[in-house]
Amino acid sequence: MPHAIKKASKKAGLSPGTLVYIGEKRTAKIKIDILGYDESDFVESTLASVSDCMPFIDQESVTWINLSGIHDVAMIETLGQQFNLHPLLLEDVVNTGQRPKMDDYEDYLFIVLKMLYLGQKHHEIEHEQMSLVLLGSRVVISFQEKEGDVFEAVRARIRKGKGRIRTKGADYLAYALIDSIVDNYFKIFEEIGEQIEELQEEVISNPRPETLQAIQGLKREMIFLRKSVWPLREVVSALVRGESELVTEDVRIFLRDVYDHTIQVVDTIETFRDMLAGMLDIYLSSLSNKMNEVMKVLTIIATIFIPMTFVAGVYGMNFKFMPELEWHWSYPLFWAVLIAIFISMLVWFKRKKWL
């Protein structure tokens, strides 16, 4: 968390609209992928520079320009000039600390989302900011922080002409991308759900301080996810309500579906939070239980042996006149009494359910 803040504080004092890349340091050359398609045809190509985009645009087809990197501020700026995008929009694109939002610039729609997916090395959740510009009815520009995304299935559908994507406009493409991102949240949840289940068993069978830290870690993850998803819900809701004319009635019905999913996502996060809170209660009560157990052992030992030690101490005294000491059966009797006390103690503990 403090990471995002550190990034944001870098910008304090700069003129608004000044492009400053705020995010993890990267040096890789930004990949520009372009994908144009209409009902009958499609072109795909990887461009060397932003200015190469323009020839693709003036066609009847839908064009999707995807940048896999936003750390080259100059390139973003050139792109912005070419498509006549507002400087504040570009500023938001290169600032990875954004929360999900939608800004309506009348001629184009700007959407910021958080893309989550599981890294190669399993168990690790990758966060990436994805900005989307829906430019009129024919062009979508998407900006990612780095290579690797959740859009392969969309690309496949475009290439193979499967489904209705090739017959629809840019708004449908934008919808498809948002839908992919939201659908991938469930994969993340599957992973987290498994971690929670493991922790749940651990917290019951063998609670350790590390368990508590893992619970707290997941709680923090949930806080982060909630921050990503709550505003997303509003974004999709605004799209469904048709606040922008760039999204056609037709596509809005599909977005209603995405909206249902975002609500499921929110619900799931709340459920996870409740489960984690419950686990904390179990953890704390299991600490008390362990203490109880320790104390019982101590009490049992002490309660049995302290009185017996006292008796032994009595007959270790050096009083001149102690008639028991002289009697021949004293010692065997001593043992008999002790063993009787010992057994009745055990019975008593048994009845108290301490043993």
Kindly state whether residue 343 participates in binding a second copy, applying the rule CB under 8 A: no
Based on CB atoms, which residue is closest to a second copy, 61 or 184?
A: 184
Site for a second copy (CB under 8 A): which residue of 45, 84, 285, 344?
A: 285
Please state, in angstroms and rounded to a whole number, the distance separating the CA atoms of residues 82 and 79: 5
Site for a second copy (CB under 8 A): which residue of 165, 202, 221, 346?
A: 165
Structure token pair of residue 263:
């609500």
Selected range binding a second copy among 54-62, 64-72, 190-198, 236-244, rule: CB under 8 A? 190-198
Question: Which residue carries 């954004």 as its tokens?
Answer: 98
Structure token pair of residue 144:
């990612």
Half-sphere exposure of 270 (CA within 13 A, CB side): 7
Q: Are 217 and 124 a contacting pair, CB within 8 Å?
A: no
Beta bridge partner(s), residue 5: none
CB of 299 to a second copy, least distance (A): 4
Based on CB atoms, which residue is closest to a second copy, 49 or 206?
A: 206
Per CB under 8 A, contacts with a second copy among 54-73 are none
Based on CB atoms, which residue is closest to a second copy, 2 or 58?
A: 2
Site for a second copy (CB under 8 A): which residue of 25, 27, 40, 319?
A: 319
Kindly state whether residue 48 participates in binding a second copy, applying the rule CB under 8 A: no
Q: Are 116 and 185 a contacting pair, CB within 8 Å?
A: yes
CB of 35 to a second copy, least distance (A): 16
Kindly state whether residue 31 participates in binding a second copy, applying the rule CB under 8 A: no
Per CB under 8 A, contacts with a second copy among 198-227 are 204, 206, 209, 212-213, 216, 219-220, 223-224, 227
Which residue from 154, 130, 150 is spatially nearest to 142, judged by alpha carbons? 130
Q: What is the total count of residues that contact a second copy (CB under 8 A)? A: 122
Kindly state whether residue 11 participates in binding a second copy, applying the rule CB under 8 A: yes
Kindly state whether residue 189 participates in binding a second copy, applying the rule CB under 8 A: yes
CB of 85 to a second copy, least distance (A): 13
CB of 285 to a second copy, least distance (A): 6
Which residue from 104, 25, 113 is spatially nearest to 70, judged by alpha carbons? 25
Kindly state whether residue 233 participates in binding a second copy, applying the rule CB under 8 A: no
Kindly state whether residue 291 participates in binding a second copy, applying the rule CB under 8 A: yes
Structure token pair of residue 249:
């009635």
Site for a second copy (CB under 8 A): which residue of 75, 307, 341, 346?
A: 307
Please state, in angstroms and rounded to a whole number, the distance separating the CA atoms of residues 322 and 317: 9
CB of 83 to a second copy, least distance (A): 17
Kindly state whether residue 262 participates in binding a second copy, applying the rule CB under 8 A: no
Site for a second copy (CB under 8 A): which residue of 157, 233, 244, 248?
A: 157
Per CB under 8 A, contacts with a second copy among 73-112 are 86, 88, 91-92, 97-99, 101, 103
Task: Provide CB contacts within 8 A for 220, sequence distance 6+.
Answer: 1
Kindly state whether residue 253 participates in binding a second copy, applying the rule CB under 8 A: yes
The set of long-range contacts for 232-237, using a CB threshold of 8 Å and a minimum separation of 24, is 232/100, 232/113, 232/114, 232/182, 232/262, 232/265, 233/259, 233/262, 233/263, 233/266, 235/100, 235/101, 235/102, 235/111, 235/113, 236/178, 236/262
Which residue from 58, 59, 68, 1 is spatially nearest to 28, judged by alpha carbons? 68
Please state, in angstroms and rounded to a whole number, the distance separating the CA atoms of residues 121 and 101: 30
